[in-house]
Structure 1
Amino acid sequence: MKRKFVSILLGMTMLMGSLVGCSSAPAGTSSNTNDTQTEQSSSTQTEDTAQEETPAPATETEDEPITIGFSQVGAESDWRVANTESMKGTLTQENGFNLIFADAQQKQENQIKAVRDFISQEVDVIVIAPVTETGWETVLGEAKDAEIPVIIVDRMIDVSDDSLYTCWVGSDFYQEGLDAVTWLTGYMDSLGKGSDALNVAVLQGTIGSSAEIGRTKGVRDGLAKHSNYQIVLEQTGEFTQAKGQEVMESFLKSGERIDILIAQNDNMAFGAIDALKAVGKKPAEDVVIVSFDAVKAAFESMIAGEMNVSVECNPLHGPRVAELAKAIMKGETVEKIQYVDEGVYPADTAAQILPERAY
């Protein structure tokens, strides 16, 4: 690892400085018997002359790849797959990195084990896409003690000491929730239904994750400004299509009228769409579908007339993480919070935007 190499290099430099004479051979070149005799015969030189002939230490560490240990949540959605592909496609040997990847399969205990493995392997930087916000104090304290910088991506963490991580890269989930409501209320106004009593069902993501916390609060705060909107059903679909369909089926059996569905990611929306179609309802017409992530499949769903809008959550974190890792390894100070750029994409723009989508 880089820290070990620097220590060894420093020790070698100090040892070289303690010798009476210095070899004029380049650093790293082994000396034979004749070289040793030459060094001994030159011991009568003055100290100034000897210093002038000492070559500068090699800076081989600048050429060494940066080893990054990345603990990913899993592969629960199209968004997550795109996020993983962005990291793997950027943190390559060609770009100056060694990537050690660990899939947590949606379990925090797997992530904590992976982080401890990264520490034991003395990686240069640890990157975590956390399953949930809490429960990180101890293991991040271990990373801090090992002097390994930590970059958090996507979901945020909740720790009492924010020096336990170097920086965070991701989305403003609260703003995403507000943006979704702003679009929704404007859309309902355009349909002439803006003053109607409207029932809203919400498919939440993994409870306790940053995306769920931020989007839930943003949606609630946004809807609170409009007294005619009421959340009548709310349950987690765990960010998966299968669970989203299962929960939507239970919503439909509840007997509550549902005018609007807000699904906190596209995959849950796809499951909900299947559930609506199975009971003869037309998604995007009988029930307005608001979703998050804006993956390619969401644009295809909008073009097919089955989804009304998707609020972007940009998964392409690889380039930003690479840039930050290089800056950190150079000893540069980086900003603690790094938001990615995002937009809101309604159905009437889907056909135009889809060819431009990278995920």
Structure 2
Amino acid sequence: MTLRTTLAATTAIATLSFGGAAIAAEHSETMKIGITQNNVGVDSYQTTYEKAFIAAAEANDKIETVVLDAGGDVARQIAQMEDLIQQEVDAIIIWPTNGEAVIPAVRKAFQADIPVIVTNSNIAEAGFDFVASFSGPDNITQGARSAEIMCDKFMDMGIENEAQVVHITGQPGYTTAIERAKGFEDRLPEVCPNVTVVDTQPGDWNREKSQKVMEAFLVKYDDIDGVYAGDDNMGVGALNAAKAAGREGIIFVGATNFAVGYEAMERGEYWGSIYQSPVDDAEAALQTAIDVLNGEEVPFLNYFDTPKITQDNMGDYTKPVF
């Protein structure tokens, strides 16, 4: 993705409308864009996203950025939002730590005439009126596609009428986790109505915790045919537990195809996932903020595509860098 090099001139006024309110924002030659991220250190996706965001901003001499990380702490993210408002940045990008809890801070930015772009994981619907645009993946569709991947594999194996599945979700309260779970749980009964989800537990996006969750599942259930994890980091944690327990023949399906997931697919141990690039994610968020500040029309839900990837078609995709 190439960022535009020509932005608003010193005295230009960009007029935009979102949430029913019209905002006129004066911009100097340089646009100052602040970002508060969820938790850069929690996984390689978020680490790669931050690096890509900084690189994209540095490639454009008309952009000044303030890059912050909440470290998974809602209170810290709210304080960062307030700090960016005090700095009078031209736009704020937020990767929410919690889709409900950040709404009051997003509202404050809206009231200060600062457009907010939500990135990667949306806020709750109650806050939509205060947001200029969401830039990121369609997580409900991702969950649905993961269900289709799993069902297709069960049909190939001839177990679609008896298969039992366990589900490892992301962090409770986190919009991406909620939406991917909903997409999977809604779609699976449509495509494989006789497959049973026997248990669901959170893995908090953490590989080690997900391994412990899977260890407990393996003790509790003698018959597990499939595992759906909300991302490959958790999925590989579950795979590691199954390998350690000597439980074979389980179909592992994830989302956000991490390098570890791709490698496990190469080894034939992990069946499929959803291909999602943190570089595309970061660049799309920055470009959406630029477009909004330039007064261009952008979709409220500005999704980028995230296709299915399995052992059958993985040769069409490069190994993720995260």
TM-score normalized with structure 2 length = 0.85
| Cα distance, 1:141 vs structure 2 | 2.1
Is the 1:91–1:318 contact (alpha carbons within 8 Å) kept by the matching residues of 2? no
| Cα distance, 1:358 vs structure 2 | 5.5
2:85 to 105, 119, 123: 119
Task: Give distance in 2, aligned partners of 1:275 and 1:127.
Answer: 37
Q: Does 1:313 align with 2:276?
A: yes
2:308 to 323, 341, 344: 344
Is the 2:70–2:76 contact (alpha carbons within 8 Å) kept by the matching residues of 1? yes
Is the 1:200–1:259 contact (alpha carbons within 8 Å) kept by the matching residues of 2? yes
- Tell me the matched-pair count: 297
1:1-359 correspondence runs (5 A): 64-74=29-39, 75-92=41-58, 94-160=60-126, 162-195=128-161, 197-225=162-190, 226-282=192-248, 286-315=249-278, 316-354=280-318, 357=320, 359=322
Q: Counterpart of 2:255 in structure 1: which amino acid? A: F
Is the 2:257–2:273 contact (alpha carbons within 8 Å) kept by the matching residues of 1? yes
**Which secondary structure state, in structure 2, belongs to the residue aligned with residue 168 of structure 1?**
strand
Q: Counterpart of 2:286 in structure 1: which amino acid? A: A
Higher relative contact order (CA 8 A, sep 6+): 2
**Which secondary structure state, in structure 1, belongs to the residue aligned with residue 217 of structure 2?**
helix
Is the 2:103–2:123 contact (alpha carbons within 8 Å) kept by the matching residues of 1? no
| Cα distance, 1:228 vs structure 2 | 1.9
| Cα distance, 1:230 vs structure 2 | 0.7
Task: Work out which of the two has the higher radius of gyration on C-alpha atoms and give 1 or 2.
Answer: 1
Deviation sequence 1:267-318 (CA, Å, 0-9, x none): 1012111111111223xxx211001001233211100122100112342223
Is the 2:32–2:66 contact (alpha carbons within 8 Å) kept by the matching residues of 1? yes
| Cα distance, 1:145 vs structure 2 | 2.1
TM-score normalized with structure 1 length = 0.77
Task: Give distance in 1, aligned partners of 2:27 and 2:76.
Answer: 32
Identify if the C-alpha distance between structure 1 residues 298 and 190 changes in structure 2 by more than 3 Å, giving closer, same or farther: same
Identify if the C-alpha distance between structure 1 residues 183 and 61 changes in structure 2 by more than 3 Å, giving closer, same or farther: closer
Task: Give distance in 2, aligned partners of 1:204 and 1:166.
Answer: 29
In structure 2, list runs of 5 or more residues that go unmatched: 1-9, 13-25
Question: Identity over aligned residues, as a percent?
Answer: 25
Q: Counterpart of 2:189 in structure 1: which amino acid? A: A
Q: Counterpart of 2:261 in structure 1: which amino acid? A: A
| Cα distance, 1:352 vs structure 2 | 4.8
Give the aligned partner of residue 50 of structure 1. none
| Cα distance, 1:111 vs structure 2 | 0.9
Is the 2:154–2:163 contact (alpha carbons within 8 Å) kept by the matching residues of 1? no
| Cα distance, 1:351 vs structure 2 | 4.3
Is the 2:35–2:68 contact (alpha carbons within 8 Å) kept by the matching residues of 1? yes
Runs of 4+ with >3 A deviation: none
Is the 1:314–1:341 contact (alpha carbons within 8 Å) kept by the matching residues of 2? no
Q: Counterpart of 1:145 in structure 2: which amino acid? A: Q
Select between 325-334 and 258-267 the one with higher mean Cα deviation.
Answer: 325-334
Task: Give distance in 2, aligned partners of 1:126 and 1:256.
Answer: 49
Give the aligned partner of residue 4 of structure 2. none
Q: Counterpart of 2:74 in structure 1: which amino acid? A: Q
Identify if the C-alpha distance between structure 1 residues 271 and 294 changes in structure 2 by more than 3 Å, giving closer, same or farther: same
Identify if the C-alpha distance between structure 1 residues 151 and 249 changes in structure 2 by more than 3 Å, giving closer, same or farther: same
**Which secondary structure state, in structure 1, belongs to the residue aligned with residue 317 of structure 2?**
helix
Task: Give distance in 1, aligned partners of 2:84 and 2:137.
Answer: 26
Is the 1:263–1:269 contact (alpha carbons within 8 Å) kept by the matching residues of 2? yes
- Superposed CA RMSD: 2.2
Task: Give distance in 1, aligned partners of 2:200 and 2:313.
Answer: 29
**Which secondary structure state, in structure 1, belongs to the residue aligned with residue 158 of structure 2?**
coil
Task: Give distance in 2, aligned partners of 1:313 and 1:216.
Answer: 17
Task: Give distance in 1, aligned partners of 2:27 and 2:151.
Answer: 56
Q: Counterpart of 1:162 in structure 2: which amino acid? A: F
